[in-house]
Amino acid sequence: MRPQQLFDDLNQNFSGILYSGLVIKDEIRHATLGSGIDPDDHEALIMRLYFIAIDPEKDITYFINQYEEGKYLYFIKVDEGVWLFILSANQSFAKLHFYVKFLLSDNSLRFDEPDETRSHTTDERLNSAKRIQDMLLPNLDAVLKGLGTYELLYQPKDVVGGDFYWAHQDKDVTWIAVGDCTGHSMEGALASVSVMSILNQLYHRDMKPHWLIKGLHKSLSDMQNQSLTDGYGIGCELLVMRIDHKQGELTYSGTGMPLYHLNQGKLKIFHTKSANLDPARVIKYIRTRKLPLVRKDAILVHSDGIKDQLSPLGKRFSTRRLYQVLFADGTLRLDNLQQELNRHRGSEPQTDDIIALKLVI
């Protein structure tokens, strides 16, 4: 287990961790700071405790200092010369202690690569994955040339992610899909690349959108039955649109993603059922719906990463706020969304991959 995995795990499972890290060879390393914590206020004490702890005569395995203001500092030996420290505002240190012991009993910390090398290698891998993902992401300028305009907000949580868009143009018919595959980063990218490849194979100009979704889920299900022995496979929520420019008609089908349609100042939101919990049942009854389009109509699709974005206080951006930002002045505005999301997020890391695509026909 890498140190960062340990801290991610701890932070996910315990609230109130203010400052955590390792002391290795007399230096604080891999430190993770909570908001409003100044490491300078605590480092002297941490180092003093570390020097007590490593005294071979004392045989200390762990210790806890409790402070009056409802904080405690937990110190445990994880390896020879390596001590984990956690400054926490949560009083239930017994739970934390047993959880750390449980984590470390099955996984020893690995320091075989220095941080710099590791992040460099990871960056290289992510950039390679990005190159492959970019190859499959369509050029929307080319696809929509002369048929409409678009705005795209595409922001993976990492360099690559599970959100994607897919498009095809065949004479007067445009196919566009926006998808959200399970997982982030490399895992999400692999899933999205697989899904885009399957869509490319299945797509036919004159098919109905729900056939494409059914075909995709059948392919994923077949693929996973063959190779999946444990865990979960590729899950994907997506919305597929077929725009017939000649007929002035949009047909669409989807799972777990809303479709916004702005027609002459009136906004309609069409929700679709999520296929995450019971994909077989949802896919069985999925159908294609039809919307008449007139010139200047706007269409918008987005993934759930926007409404799920957390603020530093743990508050979600929320669907209500999303509607307010998108429909601020009676038009569907995507340009403000990025700014509003950044303001809401503050110092908090991005919660999920984000995609929003707006088309004006």
Partner 1 sequence: MEIILFNFYFYIIEQNEPLRSYGRKVNPMNNDLDQLLDELLNTYTDALAVSFHSMELPITVSKGEAADILEKYKDIPMLSLDETFQTTFSFIITKSGSIVIFFINQLHFVSVYTTNADPNKELASRMYDSFKDRFEQAIAIAL
**Interface with partner 1 (CB under 8 A):** 41, 44-45, 48-49, 51-52, 57-69, 93-94, 97
Minimum gap (Å) between residue 45 Cβ and partner 1: 5
Residue with tokens 């399957």: 198
C-beta of 57 vs 80, nearer to partner 1: 57
Q: Nearest distance from residue 62's CB to partner 1, in Å?
A: 5
Give the nearer residue to partner 1 in terms of CB position, either 44 or 277: 44
CB closer to partner 1, 66 vs 149: 66
Between 67 and 102, CB nearer to partner 1: 67
Which residue number, 69 or 112, has a Cβ lying nearer to partner 1?
Answer: 69
Strands, sheet with 173-181, edge to edge from the N-terminal-most edge strand:
163-170, 173-181, 236-244, 249-254, 289-292
In angstroms, give the least distance from the CB of 44 to partner 1: 7
Q: Residue 214 and residue 275: Cα distance in Å, rounded?
A: 11
> Closest Cα to residue 161, out of 127, 135, 189, 141?
189
C-alpha pair distances (Å), 107 with each of 2, 10, 222, 229, 332:
9, 14, 34, 23, 49
Longest Cα pair distance anywhere in the chain, in angstroms?
Answer: 85
- The CA–CA distances, whole Å, from 345 to 38, 313, 317 equal 21, 9, 8
Minimum CB–partner distance for residue 19 and partner 1 (Å): 13
The answer to whether the beta carbons of residues 224 and 212 sit under 8 Å apart is no
Rounded to the nearest whole angstrom, what is the least distance from the CB of residue 65 to partner 1 in the complex? Answer: 5
Residue 359 DSSP symbol = E
Backbone angles phi, psi at 218, to 5 degrees: -65, -45
Q: In angstroms, what is the minimal distance from the CB of 68 to partner 1?
A: 5
Select 60 or 202, whichever has its Cβ closest to partner 1.
Answer: 60
